[in-house]
Structure formats: C-alpha cells, structure tokens
Amino acid sequence: MKRYILFTTLLTLLLMQGCSQAPAEVEAPIRPVKTFTVGATNQGKQWTFSGTAEDALATDLSFRVGGKIVAFPGDQIGRKFAKGDVIANLDPSDYELEYSQAKASMEQVRANYTRAKADLQRNSQLFERNVISLGELDQIQADFKSYEAQLSASSKQLDIARKRMGYTTLRAPFDGWIGRVETNIHQNVNSGEGVVSFNAGQQMKMYIAIPDVLISQVTEGDEVEVRFDALPGRTTTGEVTEVSIDSTSGSTYPVKIYLQNADKLVRSGMSGHVNFLGQTNGKASYSLPSEAIIGKADGTRTIWLIDPETSTVRSQPVTVGQLSVHGIRIVDGVKPGDIVVTRGVHKLKEGLKVRYNANEAKG
C-alpha cells in the first residue's frame, strides 16, 4: 500500500512539471510554387480577323459592241499583257460597212452644204442690187442652214461609226494578266457580256468584319500585319483604307484592308489573317495563365504576388478582360515585373513563405 501511494505521488509530480513547460513552436514549412513574371512585352491587345485576298485593281472586260470573236490572244489564264495590248477582236466587217455608209452620206451632205453656201453668197449680192426679193433670200438662207445642220449631224454619225469600228478591238486597260476566261473564239458575244477577268496583281485588298464593340477603335490609316496560310513564314504589311458606318448581319462592320504586293506572291482568293497590333482601351493590359486567377464568391478576382525580398506572398485584386491565345487579359492590378504564382494558389495564405525559381517563364 505504501509503495502504491509513493508511485502515485511521483507520477503526479512528473505530470505537473510537464504542464508547467511552454510547448515548442512549430515552424511553418516553405511551400514550393511555380510562377510567371509579368513582362513589358505583354502589353496591349492583338486582334486577329480572317479574310480573303482580292485584286484591288481587277475588272471584267467586255466589248462595247456585239459580234463574233475572230481573234482571242487573251484566252489563256495567267497570260500577261501590257497596257494597250490586244486581248480579243470581233469581226469588224459590219462596222466597217457602217462606217463606209456614214462617210458616203456625210460626203453627199457636204456637197449640198457647199452648193448651198455658194448660192447664199451669190444671191446675197443679187439682193443688194435689188435683183431678188427679201423673201427669196430668206428661203436660200433657210436651205443653207438646213444643209449646215445636216452636215454637223452627219459628222457626228461618222464619228460614232468610227468609234464602233474601234470597239471591235478589246485592249488591256493596264498592265496585268488574265484571271478568268468567260468565252471562246468564234463565239458571238453581246455588248457588255464578259469576255475575261483582268487583274493587275500588284495591289491587293481584303475585307474583314469587326465587331461593334471594337469598331470605334479602328480608323483609316491604321497599320496591320497580314499572314496568309499559303505563304508560311511571310508577313505582309497592310493599311486600313475604308471603315463602314453601316453594320452587317451579326452586328459587325466591314473594314477594307489595302495590301502592297510588289513581289506578286499574294494572289486573289488566298485566305489570311489580319492582325491589329497594340490596340488598347486607354490602359495597358497583360495576359496571365488562367490557373493563376482565383475567383471569389462575390465575383471578384485575385492573384498571389511574391515579394522577391522576403519570398512571401500577398493577395492582389485584379480586373480581368477577355480570354486570348496568351491567357486571360488583366486590365488592372498588375504591372511589368510582378511575380505571379501560377500553381498551388489554393494552398496559400497571406505572408506565407514560398520557394520559387526566379528564372521561370516571363511574359
């Protein structure tokens, strides 16, 4: 019994001594994280819109008169012509006959005019000597004026016949090549009926559709970059030449892009992408990986920033924009040089010390 009491007393004293000592402080572990450094090169937005190249100086050529095609040098797609070269000829025989008839008719009227003019001069002298009456002179003057009007009309008819005869030859309006052939040799064509499509090739255009929320930031003269699927690795510089004020279906506005094509590599029908560079809404914007952004229950967004001096994290509210190929755009809340945590964001708390690689990806 005495031994039991002694054992109990010693155990009680040991327990009392242990309770009197303060518990040892446990050091929080340093958590490893992945980061993304915001870079100045990540400023601004880039808009990309698709379109198809068209020849800026292209036209469908046709004859101004009808007839049968008897010569057709332009019946080969891709054949080049200099300005003034003959592309096609119609049978001119009917128009040559028309011209000959108009010329003969004018010569006859000219003879009558010459005779009437001589009669007027002679009878004017007779009237001055009182040989003929005023009424007779008036009649002679009326005949002269009639022949004078007929001569003017015949001269115009001859000029029209001459032009119609010249219209039987179709010439290149500028330096270019045949893009499309619409008819064949020995075929009858009507006035205005398409014969060939003629392209200049040195100047190209593209039409793209800009959404209504962005059209106010597009103005004539803006420079763009254009890349074509058929020309990998090549970038063409373009310029906005027209901005429509009327929307099309889907609340988009047509915008015309003008391209220089001195090397003639871009051809009509090529599909490409037009890039508007440096478009902003008045503030610099940056893109962050989507996993770096934390959504709150109240609808706000935050990120974790690292203090490089203490290697600790702090929460930073941000304003997000649209999703892009580079990530989610951050309109407000970050600046170049900020180190943003991209992995492990849901296991962090204010002031927590972290370990990261300072040479990780930069924006």
Whether 66 and 185 map to the same domain: the answer is: yes
Query: What is the structure's pLDDT at 281?
Result: 46
Write down how long the chain is: 363
Question: What CA–CA distance (Å, rounded) separates 322 from 326?
Answer: 11
- DSSP run (H or E) holding 150: helix 134-166
- Residue 351 inside a domain? The answer is yes
Whether 183 and 228 map to the same domain: the answer is: no
> Which residue, chain included where needed, has tokens 């997000």?
320
Q: Inform me whether the pLDDT recorded for 98 exceeds 90.
A: yes
Using DSSP, state whether 275 is helix, strand or coil: strand
Q: What is the DSSP letter of 136?
A: H
- Residue 362 inside a domain? The answer is no
- Mean pLDDT to the nearest integer, 48-64: 88
- If one compares 28 and 75, the residue with the highest pLDDT of the two is 75
- Mean pLDDT to the nearest integer, 207-222: 85
- Domain extent for 162: 93-166
Domain tally, the chain? 4
Beta bridge partners of 261: none
pLDDT tens column, 256-272: 999 878 777 888 888 99
Domain boundary among 260, 279, 298: 279
Q: Inform me whether the pLDDT recorded for 222 exceeds 90.
A: no
Question: What CA–CA distance (Å, rounded) separates 81 from 74?
Answer: 8
DSSP string, 182-215: ---TT-EE-TT-EEEEEE--SEEEEEEEEETTTG
- Residue 302 inside a domain? The answer is yes
For residues 147, 149, 155, 160, the Cα torsion angle rounded to the nearest 10 degrees is: -130
Question: What CA–CA distance (Å, rounded) separates 254 from 104?
Answer: 57
Whether 35 and 78 map to the same domain: the answer is: no
Question: What CA–CA distance (Å, rounded) separates 181 from 196?
Answer: 4
